[in-house]
Structure 1
Amino acid sequence: MSTDDAASRTTVDTERLARWLDEHDLPGGDGDLSVSRIQGGSQNQLYELRAGGTRLVLRAAPGHASPERAGRMLREYRLVQALAGSDVPHARAHAASTDTAILGQPFYVMDHIDGWSPMQDSWAAPFDTDLAARAGLATQLVDGIARLSRVDWRAAGLEGYGRPDGFHDRQVDRWLTYLDGYRFRDLPGLDVAAQWLRTHRPRDYRPGILHGDYQFANVMYAHGAPARLAAIIDWEMATIGDPLLDLGWALIAWPPEGDDMVQSRYLDYAGLPPRDDLLEHYATVSGRSVDDIDYYVILARFKLGIVLEQSVARAAASGGDPRVATFDGIVVELIRKAAELARSTSLR
């Protein structure tokens, strides 16, 4: 047994891993196993497992993760398992382990997806130059969560996975309380957005599976045109809540209303269809009303701004961290645009 790249070797106990794979009737248990680290933007540990002509992916929490975060990896596995048999594009999960001697953290093994992700701040060919083809990426992005919203989460065994009752009633206070734990500066527009959210809760709330961080960076596409969503990935923040928040999250900086959000965009939005086109597609596929979409976009900006502000606060307290230097401007922009949309929506 060996790794594909000596520079990427870690503390993976490949012999123990091979025995575990064999116990679960997965390829690699006969000694023909290679393990290599997958580099990327994920904060979790990802490894490619190769055995003969089969490729699998092992996903685990970071080596330094707390027991709570490590436990979320098994929670994520439960969610992905529940999607089996659905029409939601995802990597099929095979088995999970709590044996920390193999990798240092609990993990699970899933299918390898042959595709690409925009998480590296760029579009793959031909979408880098073909704007007509690029438009299909946006439609497919929305199509993925529209399908996810149709999954019968109770029938899929996800009863108790989240707290759907009162979901919107607790959003504002929950995130403001979270912010109070590290707040170190004023965020113009925060109070405006918070007050608007309190008084404009959705009229039609139907619980469903919520990915929790739905964006271009957390999906994979099949190679080549036309655009086809191959898999939704990174389910760590998933819960049972309001699926429409995933739509609002995806549309945080969408044209035309978000065209001035230069800090929050990590991709070139040229060629992407306007928001109204995507809302129509989502409504058709999901069967859900999108009349309250402004609420979800405002909530998404409000929540993401508060989450990112924690990193800004830590960097400020420690003298600066170049990895989060750009978050400062993103937070200010997100909160400003949340308030701006709230004010404009109130006038309609």
Structure 2
Amino acid sequence: MTSTHIDVSTIDFDALGAWMDGQGLPGGPIGDVAPVLGGTQNVMVRFSRGGRPYILRRPPLRPRRKSNEVLRREARVLAVLRDTAVPAPRLIAAQTSDEPVYYLMEPVDGFNPSTGLPEPHASDPAIRHRMGLEAAVALAELGRVDPERLPGFGRPDGFLERQVPRWTAELESYGKLDGYPGPEIPLLRETAAWLERHRPKSFTPGVMHGDYHFANLMFAHDGPRVAAIVDWEMCTVGDPLLDLGWLLATWPSNAGHVPGLPSEDEIVACYAALTDRDMSAVDWYAVLACFKLGIVLEGTHARACAGKAPKDIGDLLHQTTLDLFARAQTWISR
């Protein structure tokens, strides 16, 4: 889960406790306060009150322009998912009317494999193999959620038609950064043209995670089951098969700590067995995911060229972009 290093004393726990009282949650002193460490986008703090554990999620102390709106969207999504079979953090209560927006959720009883594997996962190859398939199972479950439960969420009409122009324009915008020589990405135009020629003519709208890869999954301690899909900041209503493409595009680079994972074809077969979506263009979604993610990462390279990001990070992500476009060619040539 995304969070940041914070001084927990900057949170007004008296005000939080009063708000919790108004929500009918168990009273008493707030204790066992500790930051949940991780990324850089939002603040998460673990605490307990009235014998119940909580995770508080709120914007950073210096919020980005859309920080509060992102958390409003997250809370709305988690409220819908709360009574489904989708493995997601369970929302307890949310404060979305005033800023800063924040919400409370139950702690996830699970681990992220990017930090290493506990037992029995570390020594059982069958569990590790099944972990990969369970990633597809959890994604298929998300794809079954009725998007009508999130009215006005996203713009599913024309979703696929917008993708290549949207991300091509994003790439072109990097040219405004001084020092960026332009995108030196082999087969960039050819990939865009292939995507436009082979775009599926229709799709069934559904709820998308938007950044579905192994590092955004937490797994149960006692087996291969996905305990929770985390980081819902990019969630929208669109084509859920792009989530599958995203998983394939990043597979298994975001799961390097887990040896013995299933192949991409096994992932696709597992998902296909659990959905009634048209899977005939699955390669197209994998290519689109490579195209989109590659352009997103190239943005950091462009900022690095302009002196606005570390050069070593920019170089690393540029190479990742090249790797993604090369990977796209393997699906195009199939």
Do these two structures clear the TM 0.5 threshold for a shared fold by scoring above it?
yes
Aligned to 1:338: 328
* In structure 1, distance between residues paired with 2:263 and 2:167: 30
- The alpha-carbon deviation at position 311 of structure 1 amounts to 1.5
Aligned to 1:259: none
- The alpha-carbon deviation at position 8 of structure 1 amounts to 4.6
Aligned to 1:9: 8
- The alpha-carbon deviation at position 11 of structure 1 amounts to 1.1
- The alpha-carbon deviation at position 218 of structure 1 amounts to 1.0
- The alpha-carbon deviation at position 85 of structure 1 amounts to 1.6
The alignment's C-alpha RMSD in Å is 2.2
Aligned to 2:267: 278
* In structure 2, distance between residues paired with 1:7 and 1:88: 30
Q: State whether residues 220 and 233 of structure 1, in contact with CA within 8 Å, keep that contact through their aligned partners in structure 2.
A: yes
Q: 2:94 aligns with which of 93, 96, 119?
A: 96
Instruction: Show CA shifts across 1:303-324 (max 9, x none).
Output: 1111111122212211751555
Letter in 1 for 2:18: R
* In structure 1, distance between residues paired with 2:70 and 2:30: 30
Q: 1:80 aligns with which of 78, 81, 85?
A: 78
Q: How does 1:18-33 map to 2 (within 5 A)?
A: 18-27=17-26, 29-33=27-31
Aligned residue pairs total: 323
Q: 1:135 aligns with which of 105, 129, 134?
A: 129
* In structure 2, distance between residues paired with 1:10 and 1:323: 32
Going from structure 1 to structure 2, the CA distance change for 1:65 and 1:275 (only over 3 Å counts) comes to same
Q: State whether residues 41 and 119 of structure 1, in contact with CA within 8 Å, keep that contact through their aligned partners in structure 2.
A: no
- Gaps of at least 5 residues in structure 1 are 1-5, 256-263
Aligned to 2:154: 162
* In structure 1, distance between residues paired with 2:309 and 2:6: 29
Q: State whether residues 29 and 50 of structure 2, in contact with CA within 8 Å, keep that contact through their aligned partners in structure 1.
A: no
**Residue 306 (str. 1) matches residue 305 (str. 2):** no
Q: 2:108 aligns with which of 99, 113, 133?
A: 113
The runs of at least 4 consecutive aligned structure 1 residues that moved more than 6 Å come to none
Instruction: Show CA shifts across 1:92-128 (max 9, x none).
Output: 212222477xxx73211111111101243x3333323
Going from structure 1 to structure 2, the CA distance change for 1:341 and 1:281 (only over 3 Å counts) comes to closer
* In structure 2, distance between residues paired with 1:42 and 1:219: 17
Q: How does 1:138-149 map to 2 (within 5 A)?
A: 138-149=132-143
**Residue 45 (str. 1) matches residue 40 (str. 2):** no
Letter in 2 for 1:283: A
* In structure 2, distance between residues paired with 1:325 and 1:224: 39
Q: 1:244 aligns with which of 241, 244, 255?
A: 241
* In structure 1, distance between residues paired with 2:58 and 2:315: 27
Aligned to 2:280: 291
Going from structure 1 to structure 2, the CA distance change for 1:323 and 1:105 (only over 3 Å counts) comes to farther
Q: State whether residues 167 and 241 of structure 1, in contact with CA within 8 Å, keep that contact through their aligned partners in structure 2.
A: yes
Aligned to 1:153: 147
TM-score (norm 1): 0.86
- Gaps of at least 5 residues in structure 2 are none
Q: State whether residues 190 and 336 of structure 1, in contact with CA within 8 Å, keep that contact through their aligned partners in structure 2.
A: no
- The alpha-carbon deviation at position 339 of structure 1 amounts to 3.5
Q: 2:256 aligns with which of 257, 263, 267?
A: 267
* In structure 2, distance between residues paired with 1:239 and 1:319: 29
Letter in 2 for 1:46: M
Larger mean Cα displacement after TM superposition, 33-42 or 212-221: 33-42
Q: How does 1:169-318 map to 2 (within 5 A)?
A: 169-183=161-175, 184=180, 185=182, 186-225=184-223, 227-254=224-251, 264-265=253-254, 267-268=256-257, 270-318=259-307
Going from structure 1 to structure 2, the CA distance change for 1:302 and 1:9 (only over 3 Å counts) comes to same
* In structure 1, distance between residues paired with 2:124 and 2:114: 19
Q: What percent of counterpart residues are identical?
A: 39
Larger mean Cα displacement after TM superposition, 300-309 or 286-295: 286-295
Going from structure 1 to structure 2, the CA distance change for 1:91 and 1:319 (only over 3 Å counts) comes to closer
Aligned to 1:61: 59
- The alpha-carbon deviation at position 31 of structure 1 amounts to 2.2
